[in-house]
Amino acid sequence: MCCRDRQAIPDPACLGRSARFAGRGPGPIPIPNRCARGVPRWPWTPPARRSRRSHAFGFTLIELLISVTIVAVLASVAYPAYRSQVVRAHRTEMQADLMRLAQFMERLHTETGCYNPGADNECTAGTGSPPAIATKSEHYRVEFVGEVDAHRFRLRAIPVPEGQQADDGILELDHLGRRFWDENADGDVDDPQESNWKRG
């Protein structure tokens, strides 16, 4: 069968077959129009069935357990390194703040002639009160070690208890620029390796 101007022209072989079977029923066997839209071409083959499992997506229990294990291993390796970097950053920030406070004390000595001027900013024979100091860090508190006299001072930064820096040790800086760090966190800076701010 061929198509001309969207009309079906019967194949002679089909016509003969229709005529041969015409006596078996009330009329000739209809020949499907291949040119009509929506009518499948002859011979028509049904589409293959798709497997229902082809659209099923998900994870098996084994895959899920493997993924959880990988994440746990990565976390156990990455978290200590991350925390170490955070502690180091807070320590570096406090060291910079101690340097700022030491510069403040030096300016005070340059202007008044001593580190502990009196209420009138005059250095007298008596000992005045040490100047008020504060830190910008939320992880340390600062104080003077011992008495502050006319020509000597020593600053100390103490980690806040229960904070991130609690086990990192105290930091100290004196009027000569000497730096101390309680690296082993035993409460003092008397060990040989603790006479600087470098690890080890």
Residue 48 confidence (pLDDT):
60
Q: Is residue 37 located within the same domain as residue 96?
A: no
Question: What's the structural domain count of the chain?
Answer: 2
Residue 95 confidence (pLDDT):
95
Residue 121 confidence (pLDDT):
79
Q: Is residue 94 located within the same domain as residue 30?
A: no
Q: Is residue 108 located within the same domain as residue 176?
A: yes
| CATH number of the structural domain spanning residue 145 | 3.30.700
Would the pTM count as exceeding 0.75?
Answer: no
In a domain, 82, yes or no: no
Question: With b meaning 16 or more CB within 10 Å and e meaning fewer, what string describes 99-124?
Answer: eebbeebeebbeebebbbbeeeeebe
In a domain, 26, yes or no: yes
C-alpha 139/C-alpha 168 separation (Å) is 11
Domain residue limits at 134: 90-194
In a domain, 148, yes or no: yes
Residue 6 confidence (pLDDT):
46
**Which DSSP helix (H) or strand (E) runs through 127?**
none
Q: What is the mean pLDDT of each run of 10 residues along the chain (200 residues)?
A: 47 48 52 53 58 64 92 90 92 95 94 86 74 89 91 93 90 94 87 83
Q: Is residue 30 located within the same domain as residue 108?
A: no
CA gyration radius, the chain = 46
Q: Is residue 95 located within the same domain as residue 190?
A: yes
